Structure 1
Amino acid sequence: MSELRTAPEHPYQDPQLPVEQRVADLVSRLSLEDKAGLLFHTIALMVDPSTDLEVMGMPSLESMIRDRRMTHFNLVGSPGAGREFAAWTNSVQRIASRTGWGIPITFSTDPRHSFSDNPAAAMAAGPFSQWPETLGLAAIGSEELVQQFADIARKEYLAAGIRLALHPQIDLATEPRWSRIVGTFGEDADLTSRLGAAYIRGFQGDMLGADSVSTMTKHFPGGGPQKDGEDPHFPYGREQVYPGDGFAYHLRPFLAAIEAGTSQMMPYYGMPVGTEYEEVGFGFNKSVITGLLRQELGFDGIVCTDWSIVTDSSVQGELIEARAWGVEHLAPIDRLEKVLHAGADQLGGEHCTELLIELVHSGRVSEDRIDVSVARLLREKLTLGLFDDPYVDEDQAEIVIGNEEFRSAGRVAQRASVTVLKNAVPTDASNATRPILPLASGLRVYAEGVAATAVATRGEVAANPEEADVAIIRLQAPFEPRTGGVAPYFRAGSLEFTEHDVSRLRELAERIPVIVDVYLDRPALLAPVAELAAALIVDYGASDDAVLDVLFGAAAPEGRLPFDIPRSQEAVAAQRPDVPFDTADPLFRFGDGLDLPSAPDGEGGS
């Protein structure tokens, strides 16, 4: 949406000139304070931009723009539906247009199109169309579907004013306890490489341009091989280990991402242990960022660190120490210097512009070094067309974001991603010859974890198991609750179901056939559930309606497991965290999944 614009006063404002000429002109005009602001990319809560955020240890968004000259913000939350979202981003662009040289804002976001709700990694869909998690796209395994999803997400982001996706996450899920697996394409490097490249093409197109959303691919050089499966958001998970010499395996999806043209790359928090690389977090790691990524692999795009690796932060008033793994002993200004010398262009989750200015004034970092990153960052803004028109059409946003066509496509993908792992012939039914799935419509159904209103459209809701023909139970994959900071949002630790859950299933299975659906955000130990259930399915983010459509034969499941399912906790502990398919005698294997027979005449879902 073009607002009133005057004729270009300076070359950088002239869309007829080559991008490189415009970049050079603007870099020559910027003060050190302007340049410093470009090198920081932090969180913006979608509230009134003048709101004081000191409770989070942050100034207001407006002051970060005007006083610190910051122009890259990671959006958290939502002000409402499509129109409200667009109106908010437009209002912030107006603040930027009246500040300094009028550098427009690049708004970014973590994934917003699925079911996760973790402020440190992903957000629930809200006004956007809702799809299965990335694992669910991997379960379907179609490059065409992934590109369709990314293209739809691109259109919704564009309408909202979001021009940078802080994804895809192309780490490999070789350590089944790791809490970030839900955002990956699973365990296989070939599948992840194919789907990750399709994802990037869907967001960016064949070339980055005015209709693109830039992608920040993460987490270089692969964040999967975590010691004991812990996550480097936390000090107890800072080490990445390679006992199987699998470093090169984890690098393969990033080679595909570079070939697909990803515009940005994010190194992870973790520090490599026992490799040829320096044992410091990847954001500080010159041997990885400059040596491997820049020189060996030839990546010349933007490198932005993961969030909050230099200064301490605050979550709901609780102090969170900087994730400065391997350099904890350094002062924040020394950490920042190490990041810049490592070759990163931006600091994620930080707003300490004064430290960068001090580094330059003291001569520890040259302004020429800063100009290299400033040029990369401005080049992307210009290539995306933000300098020419940073505003979006609020009427169009209301039409595009979460429209029925996009929501319908998401629902189709949810159904398709469902993976059937067991479908037995009931043993308690006389003359039974066909598996329990698909269910006949009109059955009396006892349900737990499923909305009664969803069940009622397909059968009769039973108040207790004694009145039911079948039970449908939806479970969350197990995890160990953690406390402190953002830890409660990360589903980590043991993969075993509790004895309470197993006993409850056993009690039900002794009365009636039980169908179990598990939300599989990690490779849960499904053996006791598979033994007790008449049918076992898994999903990777699917609504009650999507799951019931599969169970009652109204939709065909297409999902195949994107990783192995270990047989025991002992097998999990014994496998090497960097090696794919290393669990002994898995209960289910990568690629497992059953098709369902057609519903008999007169049966099937609505």
Structure 2
Amino acid sequence: MSALSLIQAKLRDFARLLPFKMELQDSQGTPFIYRDRSKTIDERVSDLISRMTLPEKAGQLFHNMLVPGPEGSLATANSTFGIEDTRHLIGTKFMTHFNLLGPVSDPSMVATWQNAVQDFALSQTRLGIPITFSTDPRNHFTENIGTSFQAGHMSMWPETLGFAALRDPKLVERFADIARQEYLALGLRTSLHPQVDLATEYRWARINATFGEDADLSGELVQAYIKGFQKGKELGTQSVSTMTKHFPGGGPQMNGEDPHFIYGREQCYPGNNEEYHLEPFKKAIEAGTRQMMPYYGMPVGTEWEEVGFAFNKSVISGLLREKLGFEGIICTDWGLITDTAILGQDMPARAWGCEGLSELDRTRKIIEAGCDQFGGESRPELVIQLVEDGMIPESRIDISVARIMREKFALGLFDNPFVDVKAAADIVGQTQWKAEGEMAQRRAHTLLKNDGNILPLHEEDYRSKTFYVEGVSEAAARARGLRLGSLEQADIAIVRLRCAYEPRPGGFEAHFHAGSLEYCTGEQARQANIFSKVPISIVDIYLDRPAVLSEVASQVTALSVSFGSNENTYLDVIFGTNGAAPEGKLPFDLPRSMKAVQESREDVPFDTERPLYKFGWGLSYEDTYETQ
């Protein structure tokens, strides 16, 4: 870069730190009310909509993904995720809502890219409508590319199940406030979360991002979550808007299969327990959540039409809008209109119950149901055609555009959409915040069994012992001063396992842990071999679903479960270092057998026969009893 170019770049960065200024009148001297920050939001929205063409309105109804280009530049098309060229999406399709795809490994680069995208939108489009960037959950210890992204440089906390295990609304609000500040530094202004589905069907692949099985606990924690992200009930320039999902509750999936895929499209209520699943959403609305996302599921055996929830007028307009009084933005889940491919796997549109409809008719049905935005789609031409052919009045489109624009004004995006690149590097992943996240990981460990009070291990107990480790790196173990040996040599085994699941094929589908919650025969035999050969077995299992642990629990000395934690925080817990001790209580029952799971009703909580460990179970190191 030349010296002149460097100076110009520095001046542009400096200008972006100042209050953003737009021209307040057109070439004829007519004031542009929507650009005047002294006017009310309603006045600005009304003025803006009056100036928008139909294509400009249609673009606002689509919310898709973007990836940064090299060194924070605007990216061209990405075939892996079906993403179109950034300039085309903004400059030609007039879209202004995008979900950031990929981890935040370099905050400065992400901030630079965000500014470049905003600069393009403001300088290269007629009305200069700023971009709203959104994100799936980022600050949790998870690897599911289908539902969230790894934290990267950001502070890393346990999964939301871990917060449910700790039952501490103040901690949830603290987490959300820290995540909010990291989001703001990166220019991320909408969270595609919280997820308040209830974990009543234990086989479902998305339980890890919920607050568990209990509606009251979920409702209490989601209110703290929204308060932390939105910085109160009303949106402002320091808020991150929350999109609560998946209305009216995605937990009761038939046989636990996920409706990302056609075999999991059916959602059922054999216990007639629809109201139970609505409770956390009522609490979210009460707390002021600004957006809602319906799930893919197609209800069967209810009074609702048997179509996916976003297509379902009785659910969206009748229940959510009219009965529950929700007035915010309703954005569909990803990919309801267009067939696509993700990670090399063909993915048909999740138009369950509407598979026979054309793309145009699917679009119409979703709008008529009452939704405002189409997630994971870039098809404004369909909305344009609906209006031009007289199938949808433009006034109906205006209603959704007004909701969407009101959000941008409330967030302050029209007045200053840029971020400070240097501040992003300083703010994101602060040492103190990372330390708080790791402490929450430690605390969320839930101790189920501790025979002979073997935990915590004290130095005098283990310095002379030989350890076998699995699921913990040898480097981390040796850093604790452990003497390592083979299984046959070991006095103590430390084993970390993952919850059982049945692997699925496909580049995308493989990321969903579904099917049996019981370890297969071969894995049970492998584990039993370890536990039988070592006098003391200390086992921790990462629960992304409620595992069947009867065989494990009967054979080991100490058993804990965790909800997203790194190996060092776990070692702190079992050795009692850095002030660590397990504080968690189970956020759901742990079933005794797969037979009990299969015989339970998908929509009814705590419905398996004779659970091995019940909701709320969790020992402390001060407890002296050995079994439940």
Normalised by the length of structure 2, the TM-score is: 0.92
8 Å contact 2:49–2:398 — kept in the other structure?
yes
2:7 paired residue number = none
Q: Does 1:531 align with 2:547?
A: no
Quote the sequence identity (%): 53
| Residues in 2 aligned to 1:226 and 1:2: alpha-carbon distance in whole angstroms | 50
1:590 paired residue number = 615
Report the CA distance between 1:49 and its aligned residue: 2.3
| Residues in 1 aligned to 2:103 and 2:621: alpha-carbon distance in whole angstroms | 39
1:67 paired residue number = 92
1:91 paired residue number = 116
Report the CA distance between 1:156 and its aligned residue: 0.2
Give the residue type in structure 2 aligned to 1:45.
V
| Residues in 2 aligned to 1:4 and 1:510: alpha-carbon distance in whole angstroms | 68
Distance change >3 Å, CA 154–CA 576, structure 1 → 2: same
| Residues in 2 aligned to 1:50 and 1:561: alpha-carbon distance in whole angstroms | 44
**Stretches of structure 2 lacking an aligned partner (at least 5 in a row):** 1-16, 26-31
Query: Equivalent residues in 2 for 1:87-486 (5 A)?
Result: 87-98=112-123, 99-206=125-232, 207-425=234-452, 435-441=453-459, 442=463, 443-486=465-508
8 Å contact 1:505–1:532 — kept in the other structure?
no
| Residues in 2 aligned to 1:387 and 1:461: alpha-carbon distance in whole angstroms | 60
Report the CA distance between 1:313 and its aligned residue: 1.4
| Residues in 2 aligned to 1:221 and 1:6: alpha-carbon distance in whole angstroms | 41
Distance change >3 Å, CA 142–CA 507, structure 1 → 2: same
| Residues in 1 aligned to 2:467 and 2:622: alpha-carbon distance in whole angstroms | 21
Give the residue type in structure 1 aligned to 2:199.
A
Report the CA distance between 1:483 and its aligned residue: 1.1
8 Å contact 2:408–2:414 — kept in the other structure?
yes
Report the CA distance between 1:226 and its aligned residue: 0.5
| Residues in 1 aligned to 2:179 and 2:602: alpha-carbon distance in whole angstroms | 32
Distance change >3 Å, CA 570–CA 4, structure 1 → 2: closer
| Residues in 1 aligned to 2:284 and 2:615: alpha-carbon distance in whole angstroms | 23
Query: What whole-Å deviation, never above 9, does each CA across 1:312-357 have from its counterpart, x for those lacking one?
Result: 1121343211000011000000000000000000000000111110
Query: What whole-Å deviation, never above 9, does each CA across 1:410-467 have from its counterpart, x for those lacking one?
Result: 0010000000000012xxxxxxxxx211112234321011012221232323131333
Distance change >3 Å, CA 6–CA 345, structure 1 → 2: closer
| Residues in 1 aligned to 2:222 and 2:65: alpha-carbon distance in whole angstroms | 25
8 Å contact 2:142–2:148 — kept in the other structure?
yes
Report the CA distance between 1:7 and its aligned residue: 4.7
8 Å contact 1:78–1:85 — kept in the other structure?
no
Distance change >3 Å, CA 362–CA 231, structure 1 → 2: same
Report the CA distance between 1:12 and its aligned residue: 0.5
Distance change >3 Å, CA 44–CA 516, structure 1 → 2: same
**Stretches of structure 1 lacking an aligned partner (at least 5 in a row):** 426-434, 600-606
Query: What whole-Å deviation, never above 9, does each CA across 1:49-88 have from its counterpart, x for those lacking one?
Result: 2412345444212210011000000111146322111111
- Of 541, 560, 563 in structure 2, the residue corresponding to residue 518 of structure 1 is 541
Tell me the secondary structure at the aligned position of residue 516 of structure 1.
strand
Normalised by the length of structure 1, the TM-score is: 0.95
Query: What whole-Å deviation, never above 9, does each CA across 1:92-136 have from its counterpart, x for those lacking one?
Result: 111111112111100000000112222220111111100001111
- Of 53, 56, 60 in structure 2, the residue corresponding to residue 38 of structure 1 is 60
2:6 paired residue number = none
Tell me the secondary structure at the aligned position of residue 154 of structure 2.
coil
Distance change >3 Å, CA 55–CA 562, structure 1 → 2: closer
| Residues in 2 aligned to 1:416 and 1:78: alpha-carbon distance in whole angstroms | 25
8 Å contact 2:104–2:154 — kept in the other structure?
no
| Residues in 2 aligned to 1:189 and 1:152: alpha-carbon distance in whole angstroms | 25
8 Å contact 2:185–2:423 — kept in the other structure?
yes
Q: CA RMSD in A?
A: 1.4
8 Å contact 1:46–1:78 — kept in the other structure?
no
Tell me the secondary structure at the aligned position of residue 400 of structure 2.
helix
